[in-house]
Amino acid sequence: MNRVVMFELSSQNPEAQAKFFSTVFGWEVSEPQWGYRSAKTGAAEQPGIDGGIAQGPEHFPQGTRLQIQVDSIDETLEKAIGNGAKVVQEKMDFGDFCLAYIVDPTGVHLGLIQYK
C-alpha cells in the first residue's frame, strides 16, 4: 500500500498562510527552502502528519494536496495515466526524494513522493 505521508497547502500568499497556521494552530513553520515551508503540526509520537506551505504554482494556485509515498514515481505515473489521471508536474529530483503531481479523473490534485 501507498500511504499519505504529508500534505501541502498552496497559496498565493504563503507568508500570510504560514503566519495564520502558526498563530491559530501552533504549527512550527520553517523558513522557505525552494519556496516551500515545512510545517510541523505536533509531536512525532502523536497521531497525525506534517506537511508544508508553498507558493501555489500555475496548475494549482491554492488549495490542499495530499502527498502519497510510492516506491516508484515512474511506475505510479504510468498506472495513474492508464486510469485517467493527468500529469501536471513531471518528476522532479530534490536529492533525497523525487516529487511529481497528478490530477485524478475527478479533478483532485495529488502529490507523489519517492524517497531515495
State the average pLDDT for the chain: 95
Tell me what pLDDT residue 34 has.
Answer: 84
CB half-sphere exposure, 60, CA atoms < 13 A: 22
Strands laid side by side in the 97-103 sheet? 28-29, 36-40, 51-55, 4-11, 63-69, 109-115, 97-103, 86-93
Q: Answer yes or no: pTM beyond 0.85.
A: yes
Domain holding 57, by residue range, is: 4-115
Would you state the pLDDT for residue 35?
Answer: 87
Q: How many structural domains is the chain composed of?
A: 1
Query: pLDDT tens-digit profile of 70-92?
Result: 999 999 999 999 999 999 999 99
Distance CA 101, CA 37 (A): 18
Domain containing 37 — which CATH number? 3.10.180.10
